Structure 1
Amino acid sequence: MKPLKIAIQKSGRLNEDSLRLLKDCGISVDNGRDQLKVTVRNFPLEIYYLRNSDIPQYLEDGVIDIAIVGENLLIEKEKNVTVVERLGFSKCRVSLAVPKGVEVKDIHYFEGKKIATSYPNTLKTYLDKNNVTADLHVISGSVEIAPNIGLAEGIFDIVSSGSTLFKNGLKETQVVLKSEAVLAKSPTLTKDAQQLLDQLLFRIQAVQRAKKSKYILLNVPNDKIEAVSSILPVLKSPTILPLAKEGWSSLHSVIEENQFWEVIDQLKLAGAEDLLIVPIDKMVL
């Protein structure tokens, strides 16, 4: 069976996050400096390090089977590819911004204005939806400088923390799109490649699930087990083990990160004591 071909960004934050995910999935990646193609030792996978902007086209053409790429780029390039999993990292916004001193009440401020951007398709779709006509200046990089040199009256670009906008005297006005890294597949994926993708996806989902969950251990009087168990958002039912102390048991379960403090407070009120929270490395269902 031929190895599955996966593309990741050649460098930058998305590259680092993608390699970390593969490592968490038990995939060993050994590549030398400036090596653009790597065959993995312990999984049928070939990694291609590509320019971010080239990845959607390579996916559509079937040059690569799958890719970890920013969702915003897939939307901008408008290629025939399918997102199979949202990965939860490299989150950003794609937003409109103007100089700090400019008052903007709504999107109609940009009517007839010049906007610099690296995402013309996404911006045009948004402007058309809001019946706004603007003059778009397509720039491949350093979009934030455009208002300062008189090239444009606003920009449309990726925003992460907002520090780059602040340093260039700009402020965010409208968030057009929220994006994160996704796993996408080619429309030409073969049956064998899909089988390997399913194996990889199984590992990725186990890692993703674990990151969103915590393992919880707590002690509870036996007469309060039922009340405490009803609070725990368990997979099936909590594990209950008797303690050496008569009349007490230890309950073990899993709790989602976003429910953590709310559930912990309820457990304490219901009589739980000695709570221990442990990170989960992998979570296979």
Structure 2
Amino acid sequence: MEQVTNSPKLKLAIQKSGRLHEDSIKLLKECGIDISNGVNKLKADASNFPLEVYFLRDDDIPQYVEDAVADIGFVGENVVYEKKKKVDVVEKLGFGKCRLSIAIRKNETYSEASFLSGKRIATSYPVIVEHFLKEKGVSAEIHEISGSVEIAPGIGLADAICDLVSSGSTLFMNGLKEVETILQSQAVLIRNQSLTADKQQLLNRLLFRIQSVKKAKNNKYILLNAPNDKLDQIIGLLPGMKSPTVLPLADKGWSSVHSVLNENDFWNIIEQLKAAGAQGILVVPIEKMIV
């Protein structure tokens, strides 16, 4: 266990409730950082890492980081771009993925952004929408709404909306359809632009852990048995970190091959391995991956 001293602590702001909260806490736990926060507490200390965690409203996190009330924050990209605060995006965290999209009534036809010309658009993201319209050379009226944006067309408040979309089911239930994505978003780590050298060192240590967890999630550890006469062909299919580990089996003429596969290539390569003669393929999740 790391010794916690009176040296500086890194101050991290995360969402106190909502879609990013649980995944933020989960990521810290996967990084080996123990946070004990009671009900309704707005601040908690890590027991084994020089870290303080502040639980804040998602929309407020960029401001707190810019003002150095917090050194770093976990927040949605959509909020970073909407608030336009002076912070640096350091790392994409891989969770909270969604998209900010334009949606219109189901019975309407949308071919390009000019469809929005002269129309009323309801959104909680007026800055991003205004930038999108300006890029497209479209003049439209933006109505800023803090919540329940999807009901705006149904009650006559707007002709279209721009809102966060995950599955699209909420749009469907409100008689809308998604027609254009203007921003792909996920949780990111942001930092104050004037971190001290000590705080930056702590951030580097935290980033090392986060990146190790992310690499592990994107890869699988595989073990397989291969006939020696097909070994070169099978090894050629495995793009591991460096090269596969090959160990002789008690059964003469066979070897055990250990390697790592990227999640995106996994099924395609597994099929090729089987076709090349690999047997007894085992797939094991990786908890941490240090490269």
Q: Please classify the TM superposition score into its range, dividing by the shorter chain length.
A: over 0.9
1:216 and 1:42 mapped to 2: Cα distance?
A: 32
Secondary structure of residue in 1 paired with 2:161? strand
1:165 and 1:271 mapped to 2: Cα distance?
A: 48
Secondary structure of residue in 2 paired with 1:5? strand
2:271 maps to: 265
1:160 maps to: 166
What does the per-residue CA deviation read over 1:234-285, in whole Å, with 9 as the maximum and x for residues that have no partner? 1111111111101111010111111011111221222211111111111111
1:212 maps to: 218
Listed as ranges, the gaps of 5+ residues in structure 2 are 1-6
TM-score by length of 2: 0.96
CA drift at 1:223: 2.2
Moved more, 164-173 or 2-11: 164-173
1:68 maps to: 74
Q: Pick the aligned partner of 1:94 from 97, 100, 109.
A: 100
Q: Pick the aligned partner of 2:228 from 222, 247, 252.
A: 222
Q: Pick the aligned partner of 1:147 from 149, 153, 163.
A: 153
Listed as ranges, the gaps of 5+ residues in structure 1 are none
1:164 and 1:264 mapped to 2: Cα distance?
A: 37
1:238 maps to: 244
Matching of residue 138 in structure 1 with residue 144 in structure 2: yes
What does the per-residue CA deviation read over 1:7-58, in whole Å, with 9 as the maximum and x for residues that have no partner? 1011012001100101111111111100000011111100000001111111
AA of the residue aligned to 1:184: I
2:4 maps to: none
Secondary structure of residue in 2 paired with 1:165? helix
What does the per-residue CA deviation read over 1:161-218, in whole Å, with 9 as the maximum and x for residues that have no partner? 1111111111111111110111111112111111001111111111100000000101
1:139 and 1:239 mapped to 2: Cα distance?
A: 57
AA of the residue aligned to 1:124: E
Equivalent runs, 1:1-285 vs 2, <5 Å: 1-285=7-291
TM-score by length of 1: 0.98
1:97 and 1:224 mapped to 2: Cα distance?
A: 54
AA of the residue aligned to 2:60: D
Aligned length: 285
Secondary structure of residue in 2 paired with 1:147? coil
1:54 and 1:188 mapped to 2: Cα distance?
A: 19
What does the per-residue CA deviation read over 1:73-130, in whole Å, with 9 as the maximum and x for residues that have no partner? 1011111211111111111110111121222222111101111111011001110111
2:206 and 2:155 mapped to 1: Cα distance?
A: 47
Moved more, 214-223 or 96-105: 96-105
2:26 and 2:50 mapped to 1: Cα distance?
A: 18
AA of the residue aligned to 1:182: V
2:103 and 2:228 mapped to 1: Cα distance?
A: 59
1:81 and 1:51 mapped to 2: Cα distance?
A: 17
Secondary structure of residue in 2 paired with 1:6? strand
Percent of pairs with identical residues: 58
AA of the residue aligned to 2:10: L
